[in-house]
A and B are shown apart, each in its own frame.
Chain A
């Protein structure tokens, strides 16, 4: 600390290499200085879509389901239909019941429940229809947070047939906020169409949902653990815990030599194991990378951490890219192990 202090005091303003601001940072400065509330015209931008995870059917045998909206709820307790890796294990007990249903073009659509931990907004929904939507229908539009609530977001979606007339789906939104996460978010969703991907037939409809989801209680542990690589530097900044998930916030700086050849490279954390050697599925929320190779606001969520875990090992992977869309190649980097709590003394 003292050495750092001296180094910083001696920092020569004339010699330091400038670090360009992004457009978002520039806007934030102006907001901070002029006290302007968030602009209405802020654009929602999907930066990166997290790979949609598949569903597993556990049982479909004994459900009989009414076909019209008036016979609500047409299905309750959908969680067993969803692969437990997709849905956090505590989802059912934490999620707020929504129960909003709409019918359009012969398809009933109901938002069953939703949960939000400051990083992930997850909700379950069910479709009920006589129409043939195929085994894994696709919805037209992803859900968004109400305008102005997030600076940008990514999302993933899963929808799966569970019996003749019923389909169960999960939508996950990973919003990125300008400042601290709000205590409540408003989800807006106009799916617009449901498409049977096998026969390529879309059914249009005017379902339109808007519902609020309160934030779960969270605690954040600052870690600021950095690791230097020839590829650059990776910093695990913090872990935020809720009863739903553990969210790891990280940053990176790609080395100049790599940037020269691969100007749009990123570092992603793809594997997490704990001190017992168990592997945990990583849910990637994406992040921002500036032109100078500085990645920030990158987050991953882990749904399966238990209280007895004392350390986590993260395996970063560098994605070499020439542009923001296509990654030319990837390479695993040396894993980094971080103590997340003290070892038990006995």
Chain B
């Protein structure tokens, strides 16, 4: 079956390689632009690794996508955005560590005790699940679990109160807990 703009989501869910060609051709420029915007200071290698990772996630998790062709662009773009930010943060941390090594001085990372440290696979599952949430909730979850910001910082950024942030996190967590992979982590 030939993949086109009307049937590529179905093809993708079936693991049809033509669908992969189609989404790379259609959305590759977008994913590349987002990754480049965020990661270019770490070099093209980092950008390319991110682009590869985004398409791998889309390919492996296509069954989770529900929506029409026009929603797909947003989904792919959101995954690219947060994967790139996540990668940026880990590269920044690595850079800081390298610098710390040079100065022969170790500084333990400061951890927000509410922050859940997610393993890579769980991060992927969370990312894909969160991209289904309403926009504001999605941003809050990303800041909380991906960017490891405190509720206070998120509240400041979004111009909301801490209580409002915590409420949304609570409701969102309940919703996301329907995903078995995330249940034990979030509840």
Central interface residue in A32, A221, A238, by most chain B CB within 10 Å: A32
Q: Provide the residues of chain A in CB contact with B29, threshold 8 Å.
A: 18-21
Partner of A16, one of B34, B55, B98: B34
Q: A19-B33, A26-B24 are in contact. Are A224 and B41 (CB under 8 A)?
A: yes
- Residue on A nearest B25 in the bound complex, by CB: A26
User: When chains A and B are docked, how far (Å) is the Cα of A226 from the Cα of B42?
Assistant: 10
A6 within 8 A of B: yes
User: When chains A and B are docked, how far (Å) is the Cα of A128 from the Cα of B100?
Assistant: 54
Q: A21-B29, A33-B55, A222-B98 are in contact. Are A8 and B38 (CB under 8 A)?
A: yes
B138 to chain A, nearest CB (A): 10
> Chain A contact residues: over half helix, strand or loop, or mixed?
mixed
A17 within 8 A of B: yes
Q: Provide the residues of chain A in CB contact with B20, threshold 8 Å.
A: 30, 33-34
Central interface residue in A6, A26, A238, by most chain B CB within 10 Å: A26
- Residue on B nearest A1 in the bound complex, by CB: B92
Count contacts on A: residues with CB < 8 A to the other chain: 36
- Residue on A nearest B51 in the bound complex, by CB: A29
Q: Provide the residues of chain A in CB contact with B157, threshold 8 Å.
A: 6, 9
* CB-based contact A18/B56 at 8 Å: no
* CB-based contact B30/A30 at 8 Å: no
* CB-based contact B24/A30 at 8 Å: yes
B29 to chain A, nearest CB (A): 3
* CB-based contact B142/A18 at 8 Å: no
A58 within 8 A of B: no
Q: Provide the residues of chain A in CB contact with B34, threshold 8 Å.
A: 11, 13, 16
* CB-based contact B143/A26 at 8 Å: no
Q: Interface 1/0s, chain B 12-25, versus A by CB < 8 A?
A: 00000100110011
Q: A25-B51, A238-B43 are in contact. Are A8 and B95 (CB under 8 A)?
A: no
Could you write out 12 A-B pairs with CB less than 8 Å apart? A8-B81, A13-B73, A14-B74, A20-B28, A20-B32, A25-B48, A28-B52, A29-B51, A30-B21, A32-B52, A34-B17, A235-B43
User: What 7 A-B pairs have minimum CB-CB distances, sorted nearest first?
Assistant: A18-B29, A13-B77, A296-B44, A32-B52, A19-B33, A237-B43, A21-B28
